[in-house]
Amino acid sequence: MRALLLENLHPQATENLEAAGIDVVNQAGALDEDELIEALDGVELLGIRSKTMLTERVMEACPSLIGVGAFSIGTNQIDLAAAARRGIAAFNAPFSNTRSVVEMAVAEMISLTRRLQVHNRLMHEGVWNKSADGAHEIRSRTLGIVGYGNIGSQLSVVAEALGMNVIFYDNAEKLALGNATRMPTLESLLQAADVVTLHVDGRAGNQGFFGRTQFEMMKPGALFLNLSRGFIVDVDALKEGLESGAIGGAAIDVFPEEPKKKGDPFVSPLQNIPNVILTPHIGGSTEEAQRDIGIFVSKRLRDYVQNGSTSLSVNLPNLQLEQPQGSHRIAHLHENIPGVLAAVNRELAEHNVNIDGQLLATRGELGYVVTDVAAGLTDDAVAALGAMPGTVRLRVLS
């Protein structure tokens, strides 16, 4: 079995997969569709970060692909529905870099509030400007968190420990942690917050989520942070707010268009504006986070290959499985229609195959039945199972 790992993943990912007997090829940088199709010829597993897009066209051209790992929090770079239809299991790392992003957000809030990057630039230019003008503590200031998921909620706890008042807005019901206050609308949050930070997901519906209207709702001189997704913010509107003074400062880690690899040129309307911190999508890029992500996602891919486990898959029915009980394990992914389990068992009985254990899970339009069988599984039995109506993908694990 072969795996292709792109975008400079942590070496631990390679070590885990190779220890499972998988041949791993590493390649720096992202690939476009045509490049990816060529690189995936005969490859079963793919590992990517945020730049490589796994589209339906790519999957259609690469029938050998059975699993993809997004070595990141988000999965918007993967067409999950198309992957599910082809029986390609997708995994991500929803928690592994949470702390890294939180710590960077705190560091940027303090830097912006104290105007550290402005003073740093002046010092490098040989200007000594010892002044308290425009410098504040973050203690007692109000932090508005937009998106109260894994990152937003942990940031809430850390910010409160630093003495900030925390308010948040989320379109889903979320439990407020500590003394954080849920705001009824985004507008009410923007009008009250001294610092606004975005931590929303990458679903297509969030494109252009934060634009001129939202910036105009913010308190005069408030700070703005985006460490979530680049395409959710209108950077031209943000530039206008910064240049007019309506926005007191900003820290931006993600952009609508980003270079594919290290060393490629970067251009943004936000460059060379005072009190603006620009970073190259490194919110989760600490050595600790990348190591944890490499371990977590590679283990999910390894387990799927070795024993059929789909635990924590973001697009297939979830089954947490141990090593096979019998001589063979049959992993049958199918359309979620009545009678499939009975049909699987009937085919096995007709071919004189005894069942040692069996589990079934469903998710939306898909079902996943995993059957451990004793010796005696024949090619004819496997062919009969693969030919069953509604079969999406059949794998036999020995």
pLDDT digits (tens, 9 = 90+) for 142-198: 999 999 999 999 999 999 999 999 999 999 999 999 999 999 999 999 999 999 999
pLDDT at 283: 94
CA distance 295 to 265: 31
* Last residue in a domain, options 227, 255, 278: 278
Does the structure show a pLDDT above 80 at 328? yes
C-beta of residue 67 within 8 angstroms of C-beta of residue 45: yes
Are both 300 and 235 inside the same structural domain? no
- What average pLDDT does the chain have? 95
Residue 148: both structure tokens together: 């109260």
CA distance 131 to 118: 12
Are both 242 and 343 inside the same structural domain? no
Cβ-proximal residues to 155 (8 Å cutoff; 6+ apart), any chain: 101, 102, 105, 106, 143, 145, 197, 199
* Rounded mean pLDDT, 289-313: 96
pLDDT at 74: 84
Are both 183 and 297 inside the same structural domain? no
Domain count, the chain: 3
At 136-145, the pLDDT tens digits run 999 999 999 9
Determine how many CB atoms are found less than 10 A away from the CB of residue 198.
Answer: 24
Are both 201 and 307 inside the same structural domain? no
pLDDT at 326: 66
CATH assignment at residue 136: 3.40.50.720
- CA distances 365 to 164, 258, 319, 387, Å, are 45, 35, 16, 19
Q: Token match 């220890």: residue?
A: 19
pLDDT class of 323 with cuts at 50, 70, 90: confident
Catalytic: 229?
yes
* Rounded mean pLDDT, 102-116: 97
* Rounded mean pLDDT, 200-224: 93
Active-site pick, 99, 281, 302, 332 = 281
232-240's contacts with Cβ under 8 Å and 24+ in sequence apart are 232/198, 232/200, 232/206, 232/207, 232/208, 233/198, 233/209, 234/208, 234/210, 235/268, 235/269, 235/270, 236/269, 237/211, 237/212, 238/270, 239/269, 239/270, 239/273, 240/212, 240/215
Q: In this structure, are strands 328-335 and 366-373 parallel, antiparallel, or unpaired?
A: antiparallel
At 231-270, the pLDDT tens digits run 999 999 999 999 999 999 999 999 999 988 788 899 999 9
CA distance 279 to 343: 55
* DSSP type of residue 204: G
Task: List the domain range (segments joined by +) for residue 201.
Answer: 98-278
Q: Token match 């943000």: residue?
A: 238
CA distance 11 to 26: 9
Are both 383 and 256 inside the same structural domain? no
Are both 214 and 126 inside the same structural domain? yes
User: Residue 213: left if φ>0, alpha if ψ -120 to 50, beta else—which one?
Assistant: alpha
Does the structure show a pLDDT above 80 at 375? no
Does the structure show a pLDDT above 90 at 86? yes
* Rounded mean pLDDT, 297-325: 94
CA 373 from centroid of its chain's CA atoms: 36
pLDDT at 263: 86
Given strand 165-169, what is the order of strands in its sheet?
181-182, 165-169, 142-146, 195-198, 222-226, 247-252, 276-278
Are both 107 and 219 inside the same structural domain? yes
pLDDT at 59: 98
* Last residue in a domain, options 267, 300, 316: 316
* Rounded mean pLDDT, 313-326: 89
Are both 149 and 265 inside the same structural domain? yes
Are both 329 and 204 inside the same structural domain? no
pLDDT at 66: 98
pLDDT class of 325 with cuts at 50, 70, 90: low
Are both 21 and 145 inside the same structural domain? no
Active-site pick, 35, 160, 240, 258 = 258
Catalytic: 351?
no
Cβ-proximal residues to 180 (8 Å cutoff; 6+ apart), any chain: 145, 156, 160, 166, 167, 168
Active-site pick, 229, 302, 329, 332 = 229
Are both 297 and 364 inside the same structural domain? no
Catalytic: 35?
no
Are both 363 and 384 inside the same structural domain? yes
* Rounded mean pLDDT, 90-113: 95
